[in-house]
Amino acid sequence: MLEQLKQIVYEANMLLPKHHMVTFTWGNVSGIDRESGLVAIKPSGVPYETLRPEDIVLVDLEGNVVEGDLNPSTDMPSHVEFYKAFPKIGGAVHTHSPWATSWAQAGRSIPCYGTTHADYLYGEVPCLRVLTAEEIDAGYEKNTGILITEYFKDHDYEAMPAVLCKNHGPFCWGKTPEDAVHNAIVLEECAKMAARAELINPKVAPAPQHLQDKHYTRKHGPNAYYGQRK
Ligand SMILES: [Zn+2]
């Protein structure tokens, strides 16, 4: 079932080691088939070197395994919350990529210091709070997803396809699984550059708002003009 989606999700997962986004088995990518409401996700703890398209697990939006012999990623309940709350996304990814995770561990949102960031991520990348002990005990991964989707009730999840969870790491999403991984790689690069900018100049200030607006809107929205006409 949904062999094409499993292949797409497999290929998106394999982009993580290719782009040095994961160590060992850390990290997972999923994708959704909106028609059936089924989510394809990496199995838990399977090394990327041996991962196969047929290993990708299918779950429904209640988190029940619908197809697959392996257990889904332990982060699956977070992914499911994203798909329920963000109707326009087709893929989601979680990694512990080191620069983005460093900001998360430091408990800091990532300011927009330049146009690389502004091209993809509109404004500072938010760092959300740690879950309470009760929330962790009641359902750690699901409540992580709920914390994130609650935040985006008042924020634009399309303009900010990335978030940091304090003391943990980044979660990203996109129109497709590949697009979600693309955003995760952009986030990692921006996190690295922001940390270096602060190292070089501890008094560095965010890029002027009009510059941020220019770079974001020329790539996104109704008046975008970056790239080639489709
Ligand atoms: Zn994690």
* Domains of the chain, first to last: 3-219 (3.40.225.10)
Burial class (CB in 10 A: 0-12, 13-18, 19+), 208: exposed
Distance 169 CA to ligand 1 centre (A): 6
Instruction: Tell me the C-alpha distance between 190 and 194, whole Å.
Output: 6
User: Tokens 């087709």 identify what position?
Assistant: 90
Distance 230 CA to ligand 1 centre (A): 37
Distance 13 CA to ligand 1 centre (A): 15
Distance 94 CA to ligand 1 centre (A): 7
Structure tokens at 37: 């409401």
How sure is the predictor about 228, in pLDDT bands with cuts at 50, 70 and 90?
Answer: confident
How sure is the predictor about 230, in pLDDT bands with cuts at 50, 70 and 90?
Answer: low
Distance 223 CA to ligand 1 centre (A): 36
How sure is the predictor about 222, in pLDDT bands with cuts at 50, 70 and 90?
Answer: confident
Rounded (10°) CA dihedral 203, 209, 210, 212:
90
Q: Is the dihedral of CA 51, 52, 53, 55 positive or negative?
A: negative
Category of 10 on φ-ψ map: left (φ > 0), alpha (ψ -120 to 50) or beta:
alpha
With beta carbons less than 8 A apart as the criterion, state whether 93 and 169 touch: no
pLDDT tens digits along 164-200: 999 999 999 999 999 999 999 999 999 999 999 999 9
Other beta carbons within 10 angstroms of residue 123's beta carbon come to 19
Active-site residues: which are they? Answer: 119, 226
